[in-house]
Chain A
Amino acid sequence: AQTVTQSQPEMSVQEAETVTLSCTYDTSESDYYLFWYKQPPSRQMILVIRQEAYKQQNATENRFSVNFQKAAKSFSLKISDSQLGDAAMYFCAYRMINAGNMLTFGGGTRLMVKP
Chain B
Amino acid sequence: NAGVTQTPKFRVLKTGQSMTLLCAQDMNHEYMYWYRQDPGMGLRLIHYSVGEGTTAKGEVPDGYNVSRLKKQNFLLGLESAAPSQTSVYFCASSYRPQLGHEQYFGPGTRLTVT
Contacts and interface: CB of A to CB of B under 8 A. Distances in A.
Interface of A: 4, 9, 33, 35, 42-45, 47, 50, 52, 91, 93, 95, 97, 99-108
Interface stretch (B20-28, B74-82, B95-103): B95-103
B49 to A, nearest CB: 9
Interface residues of B, number: 26
Contact of B50 (A91, A100, A105): A100
A47 B101 CA distance: 11
The 3 closest A-B pairs by CB, nearest first: A105-B42, A101-B97, A45-B105
21 contacts: A9-B40, A35-B102, A42-B107, A43-B88, A43-B107, A43-B108, A45-B43, A45-B90, A45-B105, A91-B43, A95-B97, A99-B50, A100-B48, A101-B98, A102-B33, A102-B45, A103-B43, A103-B45, A104-B45, A108-B41, A108-B42
Contact of A50 (B42, B43, B102): B102
Contact of B102 (A4, A9, A47, A106): A47
B107 A52 contact: no
User: Which of B33, B56, B103, B107 has the largest count of A CB atoms less than 10 A from its CB?
Assistant: B103
User: Which of A33, A101, A104 has the largest count of B CB atoms less than 10 A from its CB?
Assistant: A101
Nearest to A99: B50
Contacts of B98: 97, 101
B44 A105 contact: yes
Contacts of B90: 45
Contacts of B108: 43-44
A101 B30 CA distance: 12
B40 A50 contact: no
A109 B33 CA distance: 23
B105 A107 contact: no
A113 to B, nearest CB: 20
Contact of B42 (A33, A52, A101, A107): A107
A107 B100 contact: no
